[in-house]
Amino acid sequence: MKASLTLHPMLFDKPEKKATRDGFGEALLELGQKDERVVALTADLGESVRTHAFEKAFPSRFFEVGITEQFMIAAAAGLAMEGKIPFATTFANFGTGRVYDFIRQSVCYNQANVKIAVTHAGITLGEDGATHQMLEDLGMMRTLPHMTVVVPCDYLETKKAVWAIAEHVGPAYLRMGRANVPLITTAETPFKMGQANVLREGVDVSIAACGVMVYPALIAAVELEKTHQISAEVVNHHSLKPFDSKTLLKSAKTCGAIVTAEEHQRTSGLRAACAEVLSESLPTPIQYVAIEDTFGESGTPDALLQKYGLTKDNVVKKALAALRMK
């Protein structure tokens, strides 16, 4: 572990858990107190996306628009062009796929200062099933010009990310989940948009992870060391765009093999971002842990992570496979 990052002391024993969306709700409220340009919109999902505290504190700066996501994105663009800093909130599916062209034209092409903050991304959404389990959003958002894409790994990192995207002038996408997830970072852990955090240093294989896969990546690294005497580096790529090529290349150079881990389709997300950089500058063997070009289904978050292979065990397996490719 990198001492300078001061990670959560209970991380490897009995991690405390909290939902990223709770961090969002708190940070949005604080942000609203500090900057009156901040406004929030929700599309009939206020409680789920945790905008209630903001709504209570700033009723006139909060807009419940009903189930009209397309309108919400367009209106957010309008608000932004008049000087507001709108946070448009809904589930990941309805905030990306449902409204993709609205984001593309009204937000990105206009370079409107809109923050799209979504929760319930990925299969860890659980029982609601495939219709709600967004697994293609990182690709959609990452390929849009002018978009910034952030995928925080825990509650506190989410809070820092909210502040960072608010300070950044331009469109931003913040991807959060529904479930409670381990606390990994602390108040002291640095967060800079576009700058990946090396959470653990290693020399044999580098695991590039984001979001809910950062925790399994870390415990996989511990197991690799204990059981296989393999030294694994773990890098938290919370920013998919701008993407930290420098840290990736440095890690690839040291380790010579990469494993990517993400709660997303195997195409177009973090794996793609890494492959794009490495294929151009430093061809390096890559293995991946991701969704295998399939839809999800109903089930508990844990059961789904197991069934779809988003686990520590799979990260270990892929790390060993990556090593064999060296």
Partner 1 sequence: MDKKKLKALKLTANTLRQDVIQMLLAAGAGHTGGPLGMADVFANLYFNVAKHDPKKPHWEGRDRIVLSNGHICAILYASLAEAGYLPKEELKTFRKLDSRLQGHPARMDLPGVETSAGSLGQGIGVAVGMAMAAKLDSKPHTIFALMGDGELNEGSCWESFLNAHKFKLDNLLVMVDRNDIQIDGYGHVVLPLDPLADKFKAFGFDVFEADGNDMAQVVSMTEKAMKTKNQKPRVIIWKTIMGKGVDFMQNLPKWHGIPPNAEQAAEAMKQLQAERVRIEAEKA
Ligand X SMILES: Cc1ncc(C[n+]2csc(CCOP(=O)(O)OP(=O)(O)O)c2C)c(N)n1
Supply the residues annotated as catalytic: 69
Please pick, from the candidates 24, 94, 155, 191, the single residue that binds partner 1 as defined by CB under 8 A.
Answer: 94
Q: Does 203 bind ligand X (CB under 6 A)?
A: no
Asked if 292 interacts with partner 1 (CB under 8 A), we say no
The answer to whether residue 102 forms part of the interface with ligand X (CB under 6 A) is no
Positive/negative CA dihedral, 17, 192, 79, 93: negative
69 or 244: CB nearest partner 1 = 69
Determine if 127 is a binding residue for ligand X (CB under 6 A).
no
Distance CA 119, CA 125 (A): 9
Burial class (CB in 10 A: 0-12, 13-18, 19+), 66: exposed
Interacting residue with partner 1 among 22, 26, 30, 128 (CB under 8 A)? 128
Verify binding: residue 44, ligand X, rule CB under 6 A. Answer: yes
Q: Which does 294 bind (CB under 5 to 8 A by kind): partner 1, ligand X, none?
A: none
| 6, 48, 180, 267: which one binds partner 1 (CB under 8 A) | 48
Q: Does 305 bind partner 1 (CB under 8 A)?
A: no
Closer of 45 and 212 to ligand X (Cβ): 45
Does 300 engage in binding with partner 1 (CB under 8 A)?
A: yes
Phi, psi of 88 (to 5 degrees): -95, 125
* Single-letter amino acid, residue 242: P
64 binds partner 1 (CB under 8 A): yes
Cβ atoms of 73 and 147 within 8 Å: the answer is no
Burial of 249 (0-12, 13-18, 19+ CB in 10 A): middle
Angle at 72 between CA 71 and CA 75, to 5 degrees: 80
107/147 Cα distance (integer angstroms): 9
Task: Measure CA 59 to chain center.
Answer: 29
Instruction: Give the residue closest to ligand X by C-beta.
Output: 44
- CB closer to partner 1 out of 128 and 313: 128
Count H helices and E strands in the chain, helices first. Answer: 13, 14
Taking the complex as a whole, how short is the minimal distance between the CB of residue 99 and ligand X, in angstroms?
9
d(CA 116, CA 73): 8
Q: What is the DSSP string of 32-68?
A: HHH-TTEEEEESS-HHHHT-HHHHHH-GGGEEE--S-
Query: Among 67, 169, 203, 325, which residue sits at the site for ligand X (rule: CB under 6 A)?
Result: 67
> CA angle 295-296-297, nearest 5°?
125
Binder of ligand X out of 98, 115, 238, 312 (CB under 6 A): 98
Work out whether 126 is an interface residue with partner 1 (CB under 8 A).
yes
Among 111, 186, 195, 298, binds partner 1 (CB under 8 A): 298
Smallest distance from the beta carbon of 138 to partner 1, in angstroms? 19
The option from partner 1, ligand X, none interacting with 109 (CB < 5 to 8 A, set by class) reads none
65 binds, among partner 1, ligand X, none (CB under 5 to 8 A by kind): partner 1
Can you tell me which residue has the tokens 């509650």?
155
Q: Which of 24, 54, 87, 94 binds ligand X (CB under 6 A)?
A: 94
- Applying CB under 8 A, what is the total number of residues that bind partner 1? 30
Q: For residue 78, which amino acid is it?
A: G
Which residues of this chain interact with partner 1, rule CB under 8 A? 42, 44-48, 64-68, 70-71, 93-94, 98, 126-132, 297-300, 303-304, 307
Q: Kindly list the residues in this chain that would bind ligand X in the complex (CB under 6 A).
A: 44-45, 67, 69, 94, 98
